[in-house]
Amino acid sequence: MSKLVDLSAPLYDGAPGMPMDPKISISWHCSLETLGYNLSRLVTSLHQGTHMDAQRHFYNDGETVDKIPLERLVVKAVRLDLTKKAPDTPITPEDLAPVEKHISRGVNVLLHTGWDKKFPDQSFFSGFPYVSKELADWFVEKKVGLVGMDMPTPNGHDWKYVHVKMLGERIVIVEGLANMELLPVDTVFTFFSLPLKLEGRDGSPVRAIAILD
């Protein structure tokens, strides 16, 4: 029997986000006592918590989140254990050596640094190991279709270069994953990261799961 692993961080009222992003607000719109049913209201950035970047995030004419085919969002993936990486150090192509044999067969990669354990402390949003410019180039060269990570963003230093490079080649970027320690090492699994079908938008929160066969 297959095992399901939840890789999504919780969304809740007042949860911290990137410093320049709008703050998430979840509140009651009405209740059983007022209108006869409970109904909540959500106001949030589309890049809150576990979420996906679409090409439109950095390209005005880029592919929007509702146009990404499901075949690129339900994929084979492998976890790369980077938990021994020091804070604020680059993740390089050399670090990908343990999973390169899988990537060469078209398997996608999830970068597991363990940084998700800092959430919800504000330190989660800075000082994390980061995707280097060289690694972004390598992902493009290897034609990787999706890169997931437990950091809040791929790179806090050269953030524009890395996003533009990867999204320009239609690499799906899934950020803010959680619980990757529950995934096996050197084993291919099925990874689901399904966004809301938001027309014409740059990203979306996702419910990310893995299916271990």
| Euclidean distance between CA atoms 97 and 182, whole angstroms | 21
| Euclidean distance between CA atoms 182 and 180, whole angstroms | 5
Q: What is the fold of 3-9+46-212?
A: Glucose Oxidase; domain 1 (3.50.30)
| Euclidean distance between CA atoms 78 and 38, whole angstroms | 40
Question: What is the reported pLDDT for 2?
Answer: 87
pLDDT digits (tens, 9 = 90+) for 30-71: 999 999 999 999 999 999 999 999 999 999 999 999 999 999
pLDDT digits (tens, 9 = 90+) for 66-116: 999 999 999 999 999 999 999 999 999 999 999 999 999 999 999 999 999
CA distances from 22 to 16, 50, 103, 119, 185 (A): 10, 15, 36, 18, 36
Give yes or no for residue 1 having a pLDDT over 80. no
Question: What is the reported pLDDT for 178?
Answer: 98
Question: What is the reported pLDDT for 31?
Answer: 98
Our CA angle for 61, 156, 176, nearest 5°, is: 80
pLDDT digits (tens, 9 = 90+) for 161-210: 999 999 999 999 999 999 999 999 999 999 999 999 999 999 999 999 99
Question: What is the reported pLDDT for 204?
Answer: 98
Q: What is the pTM of this model?
A: 0.96
Domain spans of the chain, in order of start = 3-9+46-212
Question: What is the reported pLDDT for 147?
Answer: 98
pLDDT digits (tens, 9 = 90+) for 123-155: 999 999 999 999 999 999 999 999 999 999 999
Query: Left, alpha or beta for 179 (phi > 0: left; psi -120 to 50: alpha)?
Result: left
CA distances from 97 to 21, 81, 177, 188 (A): 35, 11, 22, 15
